[in-house]
Amino acid sequence: MEFDELKRIVDRQSGKLDELKGRKKDIEKEIDSLLSEQVLLQETHEVLKLLLDRMSHDNVEQIEGLVTFGLKSIFGHVYSDIKFFFHKSVKRDQLHYEPMLSVDGIEASLDDSFGGGMLCVISFILRIIVVTNLGLYPLIVGDEIFSGVSEEFQKPCSEFLKVMAERMNCDFLLVTHQEQFSENAHTRYKCGKSSNKLSIKKF
């Protein structure tokens, strides 16, 4: 085997190795993001359970309806039937609410759910509900909170956020590399570096 041919083979394999390393980093970053989202969802769920105990049956149905509306708005062009609901049971003489998801006839708890994208959306909507019900200032800040939402769902997710901002009178400040989320933003900023300093430009 000629030296030049051997070198080309080594270069190709090195390129493939670098590509795999890059993909590994991206996957690890997505896993970390989803794990953080799962922890945040659990914390939100704990606060939500306290709110549910104080709410009437109609209020609970409103929460189920709002989350279901969001999921259908974003994922409805792929899945024909999506529903978020609470499974109610009595444990130790107390009413217990377990958040559940039904997709095309398959039911599962959020821990055994249907992908990180839906988990991100559910977590975000529940945060909106918690913030508004606790009477906190309606500003929600999120850093890559929709990183689990794949590209085909980013545009409808962006459109849903605009509807929610107007309907709930909330402001969402999102930090993201997913450019499709900027399409429906009322105000957009781009961050970068200039002379080793952080620069923020409105566009």
Each residue of 48-87: pLDDT tens digit?
666 666 666 667 888 899 999 999 999 999 998 999 998 8
Q: What is the pLDDT of residues 107-163, one digit of tens each?
A: 888 766 667 788 889 888 888 887 777 777 678 888 888 888 888 999 999 999 998
Contact between residue 100 and residue 110 where contact means Cβ atoms under 8 Å apart: yes
Contact between residue 37 and residue 57 where contact means Cβ atoms under 8 Å apart: no
Cα separation, 177 vs 159, whole angstroms: 17
Q: What is the pLDDT of residues 169-197, one digit of tens each?
A: 888 888 888 888 888 888 888 877 777 77
Report which of 201, 159, 203, 154 is spatially closest to residue 176, judged by C-alpha positions: 154
Domains along the sequence of the chain with CATH: 3-202 (3.40.50.300)
User: Which residue is associated with the tokens 């956020």?
Assistant: 161
Q: What is the pTM of this model?
A: 0.69
* Per-residue CA distances from 88 to 22, 44, 59, 118 (Å): 44, 18, 14, 21
176 φ/ψ angles, rounded to the nearest 5 degrees: -155, 155
Cα separation, 103 vs 110, whole angstroms: 12
Cα separation, 131 vs 118, whole angstroms: 20
Cα separation, 58 vs 203, whole angstroms: 43
